[in-house]
Amino acid sequence: MYPRYPDVIRTIQQNLIREIIPDLRTDYAREQATGILVLLEHLVGCWDRAADILREENSDLRDTLREIARTTGGGTGTEDAAKSDLGVASRGEELMAENRELRARLASMIASAADGSAALRLAEGFMARQVERETAAVTGVAPTWD
Amino acid sequence: MRERLARFLSARIGAPVRVLDLSRKSGGGSRETWLFEAEWQEDGDTRHRPMVLRRDPTASLLESDREREFRLLERLHGLGIPVPRVEWFEPSPDWLDRPFFVMERAPGEPTPPTFPSEADPAQRERAARDFVDILARIHCLDWKKAGLDFLPGPGNARLAARTQLEEWHHLYEKERLAHEPLLDLAFRRLEEKLPVSDRVTVVHADFRSGNYLIDETGHITAMLDWEMTHLGDPMEDIGWACMKFWSGGGRVAGLLDRESFFQRYQEASGIPVDRGRVAFYELLGNVKMTIISMTGVRTLVDGRAADIVLAYVGFMIPRLLEDIARQLGVSA
């Protein structure tokens, strides 16, 4: 048995609240520490889902790229971008690297697809799903002004 | 910091200066802001002056940008635009490690980035009136005559939108951690719909609530944050102010409804509001704000800055993307 991640994060939060913040001398330092507390709270809420969120996005990206290639029959100059030559990553840093690569491939398709084309509509479908995913992922931590 | 700043002020004022109540404000990825009170003896009296120090962060904009902001504020103050009076610009790192300038602390308090919905309606109305009037005065400045031609600009009015688009696309290419497909699409659409402006004016480029100070009655005492100011299309400021991101209660900047904003602006400035150009700059505004947020995250990831506010800025990106998707008509 060892401290699990949420417990570690809670411990850091308690340490900040009880040991560090009371001894901070400036408003700036206290604001920074309070900001760290909020971000830690966000991590407690999503640490177990972070990799799943990336896996889901990467899977959607891969499916979208395949669908675009299938729909266009490789005739849009986007066939290279749609090649499934990437292995399926499973861990944090690999998932992020894979995500960067898949996003770059989609960007390449967006640049070359014709206006009103099926390829562009499929890419837009991914974008809409992505906005929904990202909005849900930051609920509770994203600042609002109202 | 306190002692070094006191040494600088003593050298400039010509008397020993004490720096009191020095405190740093959170936020501001491109500028550090410190508030303090300077105290010194002059003609047998004790003088107190509330002041602000604006210093370059550990890694950010060019030194020339700092000097440009100083020169701009100096000129605007002389022209009667409500801005804090600047005192000293110091490009050398010898005093405080990085370039900085010192200005007076204008009276009044800042608001959140959208005017508070619970505010007294009379206070909001006064702020709205000043908001429009100040914007109109900025856009009506004869910038050549006023010696503001050192501001970066498009060369001629026809190139105003293209200049902005290219500048921000370059920044996107440089600062992104990964492609953002919606931004790639937005740049494509903006390129297709480049508008042509009929005039070049001073563009504040961050004209919104949160960037001014108000007194207790709601009057705006000073317009702040001129670091992105350039020459360009006046509709750029209108589009930026109209962004949903700064809106509250369905009001532009939380202050007044869109139609009233347009009407009052036209009356005050004599410049017709071109809704097509406003829509272009509103979309570009969301794109710019997303890139600014990305840049904040990038500076954290690269270790160039450590202000925790920059992490929060990153969490605003999905909300901005939501607005961009809506403007582009992107749906699942």
In tens, the pLDDT along B27-58 reads: 666 678 899 999 999 888 999 999 999 988 77
Question: Is residue A2 predicted with pLDDT exceeding 70?
Answer: yes
The pTM assigned to this predicted structure is 0.91
SS3 B145: coil
Q: What pLDDT is attached to residue B140? A: 97
Is B325 within 8 Å of A127 when comparing Cβ atoms? yes
Q: Looking at beta carbons, which residues of chain A come within 8 Å of B325?
A: 127-128, 131
- Which of B178, B307, B332 is facing A99, going by the closest CB pair? B178
B127-145 average pLDDT score: 97
Handedness of CA B59, B63, B67, B69 (dihedral sign): negative
Q: What pLDDT is attached to residue B61? A: 34
- Which of A39, A107, A138 is facing B184, going by the closest CB pair? A107
What stretch of H or E contains B4?
helix B2-13
Q: How many helices (H) and strands (E) does chain B have?
A: 10, 10
Residue A109 or residue B76, greater confidence: B76
Residue that is written with structure tokens 């440089």 in the block: B174
Confidence of residue B59 (pLDDT cuts 50, 70, 90): low
Residue B146 carries which DSSP code? T
Is B322 within 8 Å of A124 when comparing Cβ atoms? no
Cα–Cα distance between A24 and A26 in angstroms, integer?
A: 6
**Exposure b/e, A27-57, CB count within 10 A at least 16 = b:** ebbebbebbbbbebebbeeeeeeebeebbeb
3-state secondary structure chain A: CCCCHHHHHHHHHHHHHHHHHHHCCCHHHHHHHHHHHHHHHHHHHHCCCHHHHHHHHHHHHHHHHHHHHHHHCCCCCCHHHHCCCCCCCCCHHHHHHHHHHHHHHHHHHHHHCCCCCHHHHHHHHHHHHHHHHHHHHHCCCCCCCC
Q: Looking at beta carbons, which residues of chain A come within 8 Å of B23?
A: 26-28
> What would the DSSP string read from start to end of B302-327?
TTS---THHHHHHHTHHHHHHHHHHH
Mutate to test the interface with A, among B244, B308, B312, B331 (most CBs of A within 10 A): B308
What type of residue sits at position A47?
W
- Which of A103, A110, A134 is facing B321, going by the closest CB pair? A134
Pair B233, B157: CB distance under 8 Å: yes
What type of residue sits at position A55?
R
Is A146 within 8 Å of B182 when comparing Cβ atoms? no
Is B179 within 8 Å of A104 when comparing Cβ atoms? yes
The pair of structure tokens assigned to B293 is: 């947020």
The pair of structure tokens assigned to B252 is: 């532009």
Cβ burial of B114 (10 Å; 0-12, 13-18, 19+) is buried
Is B246 within 8 Å of A145 when comparing Cβ atoms? yes
A126-137 average pLDDT score: 93
Pair B324, B283: CB distance under 8 Å: yes
Q: Looking at beta carbons, which residues of chain A come within 8 Å of B317?
A: 134
Nearest-by-CA chain A residue for B181: A107
B71-93 average pLDDT score: 95
